[in-house]
């Protein structure tokens, strides 16, 4: 019998999750239907209830419902309890089981796909919102030398560091961007949404240690604003969050179906498609010529 899965969000139309999970299902021979469902901003619980009544067996949850979903769960994995947010729901065992696969997805992308082990590294995590909170435990489990949180609103980074510090077997500090002056890091992860608005972050000179990796959780057709800024500031390697997206989905698929799908072929395919879309857009712009406003 075909199993039913879905991703809930608002907006949701551009989600790659249906594409990713259908590819995993084809690869592993699992018979499933995976849909994108738009939930009203004040109607996630009702939309999920309807989905459960239809026989939905599992769901992913994205912005802005991860915290609401957390509150609806009957049981929680330890990592979801720490994150206070869920992105994966199991619905087939008589209750709502919540998990959070974002941290595992991020770490797997960095350590396995990018071959950059976390152990012993000096890590800087930029941002103190849901995404930062969701990956913090997984980063700490990678046993870095230290983990520093920096946020536009320093008090939020300080509070997040204080919350996780008792469980951290390493220095964990939080503050504002100005506290970064004079420090350098091996891995700088952008978990802010500044790239969405094309805004540069106030990063001091010398932030990237020799050989440093800059990682932006955001991804797109071309280089993200944060990665452009990091490259210019001397980051040796740059990576966006497409790999994290695919890896967190693989972790969810493993929870639901007990099989971990291979991710490399799909990741390469999605990357090639994004690049092709960017090239097509650039060609169209060139054909259109300069915009009237730019003409003398």
Q: Which residues are catalytic?
A: 66
Among 17, 138, 151, 263, binds ligand NDP (CB under 6 A): 151
Contact between 178 and ligand NDP by CB under 6 A: the answer reads no
How far is it between the farthest Cα atoms of the chain?
A: 68
Query: Which string of x and - marks every residue 206-235 that binds ligand NDP (by CB under 6 A)?
Result: -----------xxx----------------
Residue 270: C-alpha distances to residues 19, 71, 276 (Å): 10, 33, 10
Q: Are strands 58-61 and 88-90 parallel, antiparallel or unpaired?
A: antiparallel
DSSP 192-251: SSGGGGTPPP-PPTT-EEEEEEEEES---SS--HHHHHHHHTT-SEEEETHHHHHHHHHH
What the block records as the tokens of 5 is 């899965």
CB 125 within 8 A of CB 189: yes
Residue 53: C-alpha distances to residues 17, 91, 162 (Å): 22, 10, 41
267 CB neighbour count, 10 Å cutoff: 19
User: Burial level of 186, CB count in 10 A (0-12/13-18/19+)?
Assistant: buried
Shortest Å distance, C-beta 66 to ligand NDP: 7
> Half-sphere exposure (CA, 13 Å, Cβ side) for 191?
26
Shortest Å distance, C-beta 156 to ligand NDP: 5
Interface segment toward ligand NDP; rule CB under 6 A; list 4-12, 16-24, 237-245, 257-265: 237-245
205: left (phi over 0), alpha (psi -120 to 50) or beta: beta
Among 92, 178, 199, 277, binds ligand NDP (CB under 6 A): 199
Query: Which string of x and - marks every residue 10-49 that binds ligand NDP (by CB under 6 A)?
Result: ----------------------------------------
Query: Which string of x and - marks every residue 116-145 that binds ligand NDP (by CB under 6 A)?
Result: -----------xxxxxx-------------
Interface positions, 91-110, toward ligand NDP (CB under 6 A): 102
Nearer to ligand NDP, 3 or 154 (CB): 154
Among 196, 268, 272, 282, binds ligand NDP (CB under 6 A): 196
Nearer to ligand NDP, 57 or 248 (CB): 248
Query: Which string of x and - marks every residue 241-270 that binds ligand NDP (by CB under 6 A)?
Result: x--xx--x----------------------
- Residue 145 — φ and ψ, nearest 5°? -70, -40
Shortest Å distance, C-beta 133 to ligand NDP: 7
Binding site for ligand NDP (CB under 6 A): 63, 102, 127-132, 151-153, 156, 191-194, 196-197, 199, 201, 217-219, 241, 244-245, 248
């Amino acid at each position: 019998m075909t199993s039913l899965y879905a991703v809930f969000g608002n907006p949701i139309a551009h989600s790659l999750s249906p594409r990713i999970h259908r590819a995993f299902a084809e690869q592993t021979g699992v018979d499933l239907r995976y849909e994108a469902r738009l939930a009203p901003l004040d109607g996630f619980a009702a939309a999920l209830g309807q989905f459960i009544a239809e026989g939905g067996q599992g769901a992913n949850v994205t912005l802005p419902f991860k915290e609401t979903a957390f509150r609806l769960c009957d049981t929680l994995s330890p990592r979801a309890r720490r994150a206070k947010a869920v992105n994966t729901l199991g619905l087939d065992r008589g209750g709502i089981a919540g998990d959070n696969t974002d941290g595992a997805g991020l770490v797997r992308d960095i350590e396995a796909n990018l071959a950059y082990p976390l152990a012993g590294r000096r890590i800087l995590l930029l941002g103190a919102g849901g995404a930062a909170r969701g990956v913090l435990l997984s980063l700490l489990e990678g046993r870095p030398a230290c983990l520093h949180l920096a946020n536009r609103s320093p008090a939020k980074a300080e509070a997040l560091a204080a919350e996780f510090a008792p469980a951290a077997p390493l220095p964990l500090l939080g503050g504002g961007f100005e506290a970064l002056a004079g420090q350098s890091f091996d891995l700088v992860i952008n978990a802010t949404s500044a790239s969405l608005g094309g805004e540069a972050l106030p990063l001091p000179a010398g932030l990237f240690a020799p050989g440093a990796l800059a990682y932006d959780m955001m991804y797109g057709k071309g280089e993200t604003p944060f990665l452009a800024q990091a490259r210019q500031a001397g980051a040796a390697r740059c990576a966006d969050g497409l790999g994290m997206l695919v890896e967190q989905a693989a972790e969810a698929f493993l929870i639901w179906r007990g099989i971990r799908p291979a991710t490399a072929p799909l990741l390469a395919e999605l990357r090639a498609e994004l690049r092709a879309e960017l090239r097509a857009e650039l060609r169209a712009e060139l054909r259109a010529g300069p915009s009237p406003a730019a003409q003398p």
